């Protein structure tokens, strides 16, 4: 089949590597892509958030399947425009992508479906914000209602900082603080049938020891040896299936990738967030371990035939990815710095570009992620950090503790 992949980040590079390795994918086209994706796919230019432009490109390249990576095109209705051309598309409709596009909408769906999540208030204006903050007390969790590229959430003990974030956002969801290790669970679904992938853990804070501001994600690993044995089964029963049923009942079935961000609290797994697409950088580690052909899996979800799909197969061992971020990320990142070591196998490109002279340069906040597998987590971790050591990028920073607590058996439930 011919596959058109939309997006240009690390998640899309990881998806491109997985799709290119699937023998049923005869031709892989990516738009707009990045220099890493260019090594495994044919690149085309497109404005990813323009539904008509993406649909026209899908027709032009005679795509059998379109895979949409990032949230912004999904929320903009790009999947609807592709399907309107009669082309199979992996990615939810604009209406269903509101599960990610609006925190308030997601909370409403969760309440209707009886999904375990933190108590919350939707607030606009100082008085409502103050009342919600008073109710919950510190640590305060204040979330921008709309899309914010992983930076819309502030978790802080500082009341003034919480109020300032609420003021900057306008409309916010203020939520009960959920204590416990975080897990990302990806579920591939055609709207009715649902197949969970392997749970992974992401590191959202910028600095070692979970200090510093929230980011899009600074590293990830899988599998989670410390997670309860029934975790996936429980989350599928308590959260995923009721959410999919609620979305069907509303006439907006969710088909694509449901990303369930969870906190494993003392009262069981509770939803921190839904996303409507693969997570980044968790995709890098989950797909590194997936032995099932990725294109076939995504096509089954896109064509409503997931119920007949064979059980997923996984490689033995573990995978770790470490994000190399540019100077000043997650603030305004410095770009245009020359990268060396970016072409090593396992280095996934996110914010990279080719300069006119051919040099690989930084072009965003999260620049690369060094991804490696190994027979166990310690080996995968050592291999990922060895890859990081082979990369140079002036002013860059990365966390040095990705997967460390898990390797040292320090994660407590
Ligand atoms: P989100 O964009 O909703 O995933 O939030 C980003 C990060 O903020 C999460 O991965 C958590 O680390 C943190 N966070 C969000 N909501 C909560 C909550 N209710 N309790 C504790 N931490 C949270
Ligand atoms: N890694 C978190 C996300 O993709 O939202």
Question: Can you give the pLDDT at residue 145?
Answer: 82
The ligand with the least distance to the CA atom of 107 is 1
* C-beta 275 within 6 A of ligand 2: yes
Q: What is the pLDDT of residue 59?
A: 98
Is the C-beta atom of 141 inside 6 A of ligand 1?
A: yes
Q: For residues 339 and 367, is the Cβ–Cβ distance under 8 A? A: yes
Domains of the chain are: 2-90 (3.40.50.20), 121-175 (3.30.1490.20), 180-308 (3.30.470.20), 318-407 (3.90.600.10)
- Does the beta carbon of 269 sit less than 6 angstroms from any atom of ligand 2? no
pLDDT at residue 157 in the model: 94
CA of 153 to the centre of ligand 1 (A): 7
Top mutation candidate among 273, 274, 275 for ligand 1, by most atoms within 8 Å of CB: 273
Ligand nearest to the CA of residue 202, numbered in listed order: 2
| pLDDT given for residue 150 in this prediction | 59
Say how many Å lie between the CA of residue 93 and the centre of ligand 2: 20
Q: What is the mean pLDDT of the chain?
A: 96
pLDDT per position as a tens digit, 122-150: 998 899 999 999 999 999 999 988 777 65
> How many whole angstroms separate alpha carbon 267 and alpha carbon 406?
22
| Residue having the nearest C-alpha atom to atom 5 of ligand 1 | 153
Looking at residue 149, its pLDDT comes to: 66
Give per-residue pLDDT as tens, 171-224.
899 999 999 999 999 999 999 999 999 999 999 999 999 999 889 999 999 999
| Cα(244) to centroid(ligand 2), Å | 20
Give every residue of the chain whose pLDDT is below 50, as ranges.
none
Residue 357: per-residue pLDDT:
97
Quote the ligand 1 centre to 321 CA distance (angstroms). 21
What per-residue confidence (pLDDT) applies to 171?
A: 86
Strand partners, 320: 221, 372
Ligand 1: atom nearest CA of 202 is 10
Model pTM score = 0.95
Looking at residue 151, its pLDDT comes to 61
């Amino acid at each position: 089949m011919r596959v058109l992949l939309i997006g240009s980040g690390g998640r899309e590079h990881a998806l491109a590597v997985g799709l290119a390795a699937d023998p049923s994918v005869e031709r892989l086209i990516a738009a707009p892509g990045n220099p890493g994706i260019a090594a495994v796919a044919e690149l085309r230019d497109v404005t990813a958030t323009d539904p008509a432009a993406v649909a026209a490109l899908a027709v032009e390249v005679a795509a059998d399947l379109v895979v949409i990576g990032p949230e912004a095109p999904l929320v903009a209705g790009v999947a609807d425009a592709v399907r309107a051309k009669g082309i199979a598309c992996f990615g939810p409709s604009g209406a269903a992508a509101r599960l990610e596009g609006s925190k308030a909408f997601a909370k409403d769906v969760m309440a209707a479906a009886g999904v375990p999540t933190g108590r919350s208030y939707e607030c606009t204006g100082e008085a409502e914000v103050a009342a919600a903050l008073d109710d919950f007390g510190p640590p305060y969790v204040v979330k921008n209602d709309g899309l914010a590229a992983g930076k819309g959430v502030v978790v802080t003990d500082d009341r003034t900082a919480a109020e300032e974030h609420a003021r900057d956002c306008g409309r916010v969801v203020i939520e009960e603080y959920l204590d416990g290790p975080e897990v990302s669970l990806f579920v591939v679904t055609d709207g009715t049938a649902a197949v969970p992938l392997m749970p992974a853990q992401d590191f959202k804070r910028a600095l070692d020891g979970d200090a510093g501001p929230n980011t899009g994600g600074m590293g990830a690993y899988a599998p989670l040896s410390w997670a309860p044995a029934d975790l996936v089964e429980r989350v599928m029963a308590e959260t995923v299936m009721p959410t999919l049923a609620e979305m069907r009942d509303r006439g907006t079935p969710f088909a694509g990738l449901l990303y369930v961000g969870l906190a494993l609290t003392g009262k069981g797994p509770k939803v921190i967030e839904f996303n409507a697409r693969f997570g980044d950088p968790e995709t890098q580690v989950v797909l590194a371990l997936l032995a099932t052909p990725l294109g076939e899996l995504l096509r089954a979800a896109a064509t409503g035939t997931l119920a007949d799909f064979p059980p997923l197969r996984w490689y033995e061992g573990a995978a770790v990815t470490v994000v190399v971020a540019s100077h000043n990320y997650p603030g305004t990142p410095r770009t245009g710095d020359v990268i060396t070591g970016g072409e090593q196998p396992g280095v996934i490109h996110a914010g990279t570009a080719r300069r006119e002279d051919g040099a690989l340069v930084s072009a965003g906040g999260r620049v690369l992620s060094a991804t490696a597998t190994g027979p166990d987590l310690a080996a995968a971790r050592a291999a990922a950090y060895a890859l990081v050591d082979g990369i140079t990028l002036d002013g860059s920073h990365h966390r040095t503790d990705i997967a460390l607590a898990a390797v040292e058996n320090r994660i407590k439930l």
